[in-house]
Amino acid sequence: MIGHGFMGAAHSQGWRVAPRFFDLPAAVEMAVVVGRSEESTRAAAEKWGWAEAATDWREVIARDDIDIVDIVTPGDSHAEIAIAALEAGKHVMCEKPLANTVAEAEAMTAAAERAAAQGVRSMVGFTYRRVPAATFARDLVAAGRIGEVRQVRAEYLQDWLSDADAPLTWRLQKERAGSGALGDIGAHAIDLTEFITGEHVTRVSGVVETIVTERPLLGEGIGLSGTASAERGAVTVDDLALFTGRLESGALASFEASRFRTGRKNALRIEVSGSAGALSFDLERMNELEFYDATAAETELGFRRILVTEHDHPYVSAWWPTGHMLGYEHGFSHQVVDFVAAIADGSQPHPSFAEGLHVQRVLDAVQQSSAQGSAWLDVG
């Protein structure tokens, strides 16, 4: 695993726990974690269960005993690391968004396609696909339970930047993160919409905005925590993105990605309305799915709450008895399960780098649309 910040902890949890609850087709050994600081990387290895710590990712991917490379670094290094790892014959899991630019994502996808011809697999970490309730929503739509999809509303809402004096972290710097709320959390809303509906976003019209343009610099390093100094630096990414999308079927979808929705901590919400019913999911209530059956008798109409903890629900049978809740970290174990299974049976894991490239093109089209006065633009 290359990188060991917030996502490093989440991915480590996935690698460590998945083999203990699921019958994986291959054994998993957490061999080495890589970081820039020898001291902090060694501490991460000891804390999360990695056998070794290293500071040179190029040396690590050249090793014969490494089969999988998991990339959890900021977006500015995704392309270089992923392409090198694929060319070295390593299977690659890469956090989202796939890259900081369309050009980088295209290069990564081309490398993935070349590697696939040699049996090397790659996947993007859109983990929320693997929340059981979200996967079950996809299954219900695919089974025709809500009929023809007519409208989608998707939003990812947070408020961790609502304080104008919150420090300037790498996530607020375009050269490191690529974009702000749009790419960081808006990408999840796009991917989850496409995953649940089975349709791509083909056109967009949107606007992005930076609400707070300057923030205090961190005294030591750039991270999610630290001591803010009196000196301030420019925020070079968006805080808020609002856009409308057209799906392949012609259905309209509205999207919002905000780090300024006061009181919303991690509210990834999606509602899919169809000709025969509707579905509603909220990550802040991640074990639940609301389902509306429009074919029911008038006296029985209304959204009903489904507790997605039955053993026949996706992924759930490996965990606890019915009614015992799963949490944020479980999606990362499910991600490991699906990735290892695909490698073992020689199939393409999803979402692929090509799917990640498509999301990157949607993000790029939204930014271009905003720059052109919210003009409607084709994706890709």
Complete domains list, the chain, with CATH: 6-125 (3.40.50.720), 129-371 (3.30.360.10)
Distance of CA 110 to the CA centre of its chain: 21
Do 177 and 100 touch, CB atoms closer than 8 A? yes
Distance separating alpha carbons of residues 363 and 102, to the nearest angstrom: 9
Question: What pLDDT score was predicted for residue 227?
Answer: 57
Six token digits for residue 101: 């630019």
Question: What pLDDT score was predicted for residue 282?
Answer: 98
pTM of the model: 0.95
Which stretches does DSSP call E strand in the chain? Answer: 32-34, 52-54, 68-71, 91-95, 122-125, 149-157, 201-209, 214-218, 228-234, 240-247, 252-258, 267-274, 277-282, 288-293, 304-307, 377-378
- Regions in the chain scoring below 70 on pLDDT: 219-229
Distance of CA 376 to the CA centre of its chain: 25
Question: What pLDDT score was predicted for residue 53?
Answer: 98
Distance separating alpha carbons of residues 335 and 348, to the nearest angstrom: 14
Which stretches does DSSP call E strand in 147-287? Answer: 149-157, 201-209, 214-218, 228-234, 240-247, 252-258, 267-274, 277-282
Distance separating alpha carbons of residues 213 and 194, to the nearest angstrom: 32
What CA–CA distances, in Å, run from 137 to 158, 159, 285? 23, 27, 14
Question: What pLDDT score was predicted for residue 224?
Answer: 47
